[in-house]
Amino acid sequence: MKPIEIVKDIYWLGVIDWNIRDFHGYSTYQGTTYNSFLIVDEKITLIDTVKKEFADELIASISQIIDPKKIDYVISNHTEMDHSGGLPRVMHRIGEDTPLYCSKMGHKNLSMHFSQEWNYQPVENGGELSLGKRTLTFLETRMLHWPDSMFTYVKEDKILFSSDAFGQHYAGIERYDDEIGEAIMPHAKKYFANILLLYSPLILKLVEKVSEMGLAIDMICPDHGIIWRENPSKIINAYVEWSTQKPKRKAVVIYDTMWHSTEIMAEAIVEALGQEGVNARLMHLRSCHRSDIITEVLDAGAVIVGSPTINNGLFPTVSDFLTYMKGLKPKNKVAAAFGSYGWSGEAVKLINQEFEEMKFEIIDPGTRIQYVPDDKGLDACHNLGEKIARALP
C-alpha cells in the first residue's frame, strides 16, 4: 500500500488483508488491516509491525518514505503476532540492534515468541521518549487485551496509538472515520464484543484514568481498521456504553436443532417476545457465526438458549457457543433454556448449569418438550417468551 501522511511527518503504513475470513475463530467477513505507523522526526520511529506474511509489504511501504535502515527506534505496543509477526524481518532489514521499546511484559512476551537478542528497551507506565520535536508517552494497558499491551501517545500531535483498542476488523478503501461514517460502528461493536468484552471493568477504569490525566486526543490510531479523526470521542463513548453493558429490551434466542422441534420452540418464543414489543433475534448456531451471535448478546437484556438432548448431553454447537460466551463474561442478563428431547432430556439442565456459572439470572426453570411440540407445548413456549418480556426493561 502507498503510505498515507495522517499528519505532517506521521504516516499510516498499514497492510490490508482483504481475504482473511477467520481470525482465530472470529469471522472476518470483510477482512481486516494491520496498521503500522512511521514518525519521521529527528529520531525516526516505527510503531508496530504487521502479520508475518505481510512484512515485505510493510518494508516496501517504509522504503517509499525513507531507507528502512534510517529507522532509529521501533515501538511494539502489543506482542500478538498480527502486530509482531513482521518484527524479525523488519528488524533484520533495519538493523538487529535498533532499540525496541515495549512494556516490561512486552519484553517478556516478545522474548518468548522470538528467540532473538534484540536491543529491548522496556518502558515504565508513563515513561517518555524524546524523538526531537515530539515526545512519546507510554501508557500500560495491561490485559487490554494481553498482559503486554500498551498505548503510545504523542502529545504534540495529540495522537493516541491504541494498539487493538478502538480497532475494527474491516478491510476497505477508507482510512478515516469521516470517510465511512456510521457503517464502521457495527465492525467496532463486533470487535469489542469478541475481543474486549471480558475486560469491560478494566476499560471503564482506563477511560476514567485517561480522563483524569486530561489527555487531549485529536486522533486515535488503532492497529486494525480505520483511524478516528473526525470524532475520536465517539468510539470512546461507545466503549463506555458497551463496557457498562446496560441491558436493552432485546432478547437473543440461540439454538440448534435436530428434527426441527427445538427450532419450532425457538420460533414460538421469538414470536411471543415480538408480540410483547421486545427486539428479538433468532440465531441458529449453524447459520450464524458465534462471533456474530456474541455481538448481538452484547447489549441484549435476555439470552435464551435451546438445545435438543443428544447422547444425554448438549448439541455440540450449543456447547461450543456456551463455552465461548462464558469466556467473554457478559453481564446483566436474564436467561432461560429450552429444548426438545426423546427420552432422557438433560439439555435444559446442562444449559442452566452454564447460566449459573455465568451468573445470569435464570428467570424460569426452562421448557422441555418430548419429541414434537403440540399446542400445549407451543403455549408453554409462548408463556416463556412472555415471561422473559416481563423481565426486560
| Of 76 and 309, CB closest to ligand FEO | 76
Task: Tell me, yes or no, if 80 is annotated catalytic.
Answer: yes
Binding to ligand FEO by CB under 6 A, coded x per residue (else -) over 224-263, reads: x---------------------------------------
**DSSP one-letter code for 100:** E
The C-alpha cell that represents 36 in the structure block: 503500522
Residue 17 contacts ligand FEO per CB under 6 A: no
Task: Tell me, yes or no, if 357 is annotated catalytic.
Answer: no
Contacts with ligand FEO by CB under 6 A: the residue count is 8
Task: Tell me, yes or no, if 178 is annotated catalytic.
Answer: no
| Of 23 and 315, CB closest to ligand FEO | 23
Q: Which stretch binds ligand FEO (CB under 6 A): 57-65, 79-87, 247-255, 298-306?
A: 79-87
**DSSP one-letter code for 103:** E
Q: Which of 48, 80, 354, 364 binds ligand FEO (CB under 6 A)?
A: 80
Residue 48 contacts ligand FEO per CB under 6 A: no
| Of 139 and 388, CB closest to ligand FEO | 139
Phi, then psi, of 334 in degrees rounded to 5: -95, 155
DSSP states of 331-375 as a string? Answer: -S-EEEEEEEESSS--HHHHHHHHHHHTT-EE-SS-EEEESS--H
For 266-294, b/e burial (b = at least 16 CB within 10 A) is: bbbbbbbbeebebbbbbbbbeebbbbbbb
DSSP states of 166-186 as a string? Answer: T-----SS--BHHHHGGGGHH
Site residues (CB under 6 A) for ligand FEO, limited to 162-221: 164
* Residue 169 C-beta: closest distance to ligand FEO, Å: 9
Task: Tell me, yes or no, if 82 is annotated catalytic.
Answer: yes
Phi, then psi, of 169 in degrees rounded to 5: -85, 95
Q: Among residues 140, 164, 296, 364, which one is catalytic?
A: 164
Task: Tell me, yes or no, if 117 is annotated catalytic.
Answer: no
Nearest to 282 by CA among 306, 298, 260, 261: 306
Kindly give the pairing relationship between strand 37-39 and strand 45-47.
antiparallel
Residue 223 contacts ligand FEO per CB under 6 A: yes
CA angle 81/82/85 to nearest 5° reads: 50
Site residues (CB under 6 A) for ligand FEO, limited to 127-156: 145
Question: Which amino acid makes up residue 366?
Answer: G
Task: Tell me, yes or no, if 145 is annotated catalytic.
Answer: yes
Q: Among residues 83, 107, 224, 289, which one is catalytic?
A: 224
* Residue 80 C-beta: closest distance to ligand FEO, Å: 4
Question: Which amino acid makes up residue 321?
Answer: F
- Residue number closest to ligand FEO, CB atom: 80
Q: Which stretch binds ligand FEO (CB under 6 A): 3-11, 78-86, 186-194, 261-269?
A: 78-86
- Cα–Cα distance for residue pair 201/193, rounded to 1 Å: 14
Site residues (CB under 6 A) for ligand FEO, limited to 318-357: none
Strand, coil or helix: 150: strand
Q: Which of 17, 48, 82, 148 binds ligand FEO (CB under 6 A)?
A: 82
Q: Among residues 80, 177, 292, 354, which one is catalytic?
A: 80
Whole-angstrom CA distances from 347 to 39, 257, 338, 365, 383 are 56, 12, 8, 12, 20
Q: Among residues 83, 107, 145, 169, which one is catalytic?
A: 145
Residues of this chain that interact with ligand FEO (CB under 6 A) are 78, 80, 82-83, 145, 164, 223-224
Catalytic residue annotation: 24, 78, 80, 82, 145, 164, 191, 224
